Structure 1
Amino acid sequence: MRVALAQIGTGTDPDANLELVADHTARAADAGADLVLFPEATMCRFGVPLAPVAQPLDGPWANAVRDIAKRSGVTVVAGMFCPADDSRVTNTLIATGPDLDAHYHKMHLYDAFGFAESDTVAPGFEPLVIDVPTPDGAVPVGLTTCYDVRFPEQYLELAERGAKLLTVHASWASGPGKLEQWTLLARARALDTTCVVAAVDQPYPGDELAKKGPTGSGGSLVASATGDIVAQAGLDAELLVVDVDLAAIDRAREAIAVLRNRTTIPSKAQSQG
């Protein structure tokens, strides 16, 4: 399976960001990619009001992404914002391609490091595994967004649901030690699940823009099912194309049988009952 990670820096104009999606998807398809991953907030970067740019999943922005994927014949996953039931939005991944139309609303909201995503974003509640077509058959892929990566339980659930590749789509806030944490967490989730983890971030935008919100740290990477870094981008915008060895996942699961050996640890309430 060939996966492309499009480490793009998005602005505040959704139409201009669509041009980036179209260009990088076409380049990834030309490179033989089956799956093209874009960061969180591909539709519009953080640091500006999100409600005015949010669109429904059947709106023009999402439909344009569907058209891009259809023209290129590949599966595309990109971050967007949709109106929520209250005055907030959802932080959403649209996944679209041959015989695929799915979405995932970010479950864990970034109320950390002085930022309160929950003020403007409503949480999702359901993990998602999609089947991505490849020449050798469909590959189950679990989708996650940014702060999700700090919560191992979600990744274990996706692996239990059959995922072999796990994606992380981020606009990872920069700061002291943050790039190192990003890399460490992606590798840890790979070891937790014996899945390959493909983690795509926005590039580092420069010191001034970085002050306006979670924009990016760069460092998009693919980690093997044994936690090794297969490939990693630098700080700047880049299209990273990586071959994923699916057979190596099966070998890792035989050698490191964490999924098979898992036990259910009772909660404090259960143990007292």
Structure 2
Amino acid sequence: MRVALVQLASATDSAANVEDIRSQTAALSPADGLDLVVLPEASMHDFGSADHDLAAVAEPLDGPFVGFLGEEARRLGATLVAGMFERTDDLPFNTLVVVGPDGALRQTYRKIHLYDSFGYKESDRLRAGDIEPVVLDIAGTPVGLMTCYDLRFPEHARALIDAGAEAIVLPAAWVAGDRKLDHWRTLLAARAIENTVYVAAAAQGGDRYTGHSLVVDPWGSIVGEAVSTPEIIRATLEPEVVARAREINPSLANRRIRTSS
């Protein structure tokens, strides 16, 4: 599966963000043969300050942002994953949308673990999704979806693997701070190693966020990594690598403690 991670720095202007994404993805073409393009969490609209009203800027799933993603997916002939704030009659969801190569909305994942940590409280502004792992087939690969803070919960990743995932895609807006980059790299590698899967994480860059979009293979090795500026990371996720890792390191098969279904 050929993947491109698009690292960007969103603003609190949804229309400007669409134009920024359009400008960056112009570097991608159908000739690249991409199967999957991943944008960060909050690609539609940045979180902004703690008093910024996300409910006022949230969009429905049939709104302009998802419509734009559909246009790009059709242009590239690829599946697109991106983060947005989804309108409800109360607090919005922090939602990943998956748009297929035909431009149609295929799947959504509403962030389960809200970032109530490091002095911040995401649950004051957004509502958590149902506790339901989301795995879907993309170009023959079962892909599990997570968002940012979900990374700190290994049971979430394991639930995706138990649902059949052979890769995990994780859009994020990982807030910068002391030791945060170390946490980011370490946790991404840990989720890959302990589950013997690829992990592809598209991150927000700029001054506020850590950046460093990463692709990690099932051995925990970094296949590609950005820094903090806008950048596109490309990688090929090979099922043979997953199969070989699971043959040599059959830790999933050797488990004796399993969560109840």
Shared fold, TM over 0.5: yes
Distance 1:21 1:246 in 2: 29
Within-5 A mapping of 1:9-48:
9-29=9-29, 30-47=31-48, 48=52
| Residue matched to 1:94 | 97
Q: Percent identity between the aligned chains?
A: 45
Distance 2:259 2:76 in 1: 48
Distance 1:162 1:266 in 2: 15
Among 131, 140, 145, the residue aligned to 2:137:
131
Residue ranges of structure 1 left out of the alignment (5+ in a row): 211-215, 268-273
**Residues 3 and 34 in structure 1, CA contact (< 8 A), matched pair in contact too:** yes
Distance 1:102 1:72 in 2: 18
Give the length in aligned residue pairs: 253
Distance 1:222 1:3 in 2: 9
Stretch deviating more after TM superposition (68-77 or 102-111): 68-77
Residue ranges of structure 2 left out of the alignment (5+ in a row): none
Distance 2:2 2:257 in 1: 35
1:65 partnered with 2:101: no
Stretch deviating more after TM superposition (11-20 or 246-255): 11-20
Write out per-residue CA displacement over residues 77-132 of structure 1, whole angstroms, 9 at most, x where no aligned residue. Answer: 0000012342x110000101136611100000000000000001100122211211
**Residues 111 and 128 in structure 2, CA contact (< 8 A), matched pair in contact too:** yes
Distance 1:256 1:235 in 2: 33
Within-5 A mapping of 1:84-123:
84-86=88-90, 88-98=91-101, 101-123=106-128
1:56 partnered with 2:60: yes
For the structure 1 residues 23 and 263, does the alpha-carbon distance in structure 2 shift closer, same or farther, using more than 3 Å as the test? farther
| Residue matched to 1:7 | 7
| Residue matched to 1:180 | 182
**Residues 203 and 213 in structure 2, CA contact (< 8 A), matched pair in contact too:** yes
**Residues 128 and 142 in structure 1, CA contact (< 8 A), matched pair in contact too:** yes
Distance 1:11 1:38 in 2: 14
Distance 1:101 1:74 in 2: 12
Instruction: Give the SS at the match of 2:223.
Output: strand
> What is the aligned-residue RMSD (CA, Å)?
1.7
Instruction: Give the SS at the match of 2:113.
Output: coil
Q: What's the CA shift for 1:12?
A: 1.2
Q: What's the CA shift for 1:28?
A: 3.0
The letter for the 1-side match of 2:204 is Q
**Residues 25 and 69 in structure 1, CA contact (< 8 A), matched pair in contact too:** no
Distance 1:14 1:127 in 2: 28
Q: What's the CA shift for 1:266?
A: 7.8
Return the TM-score normalized by structure 1. 0.88
The letter for the 1-side match of 2:243 is D
Q: What's the CA shift for 1:227?
A: 0.8
Distance 1:157 1:69 in 2: 28
**Residues 192 and 216 in structure 2, CA contact (< 8 A), matched pair in contact too:** yes
Instruction: Give the SS at the match of 2:57.
Output: coil
**Residues 193 and 218 in structure 2, CA contact (< 8 A), matched pair in contact too:** yes
Distance 2:175 2:42 in 1: 12
Among 221, 227, 230, the residue aligned to 1:234:
227
**Residues 114 and 149 in structure 2, CA contact (< 8 A), matched pair in contact too:** yes
| Residue matched to 1:261 | 254
Distance 2:252 2:120 in 1: 34
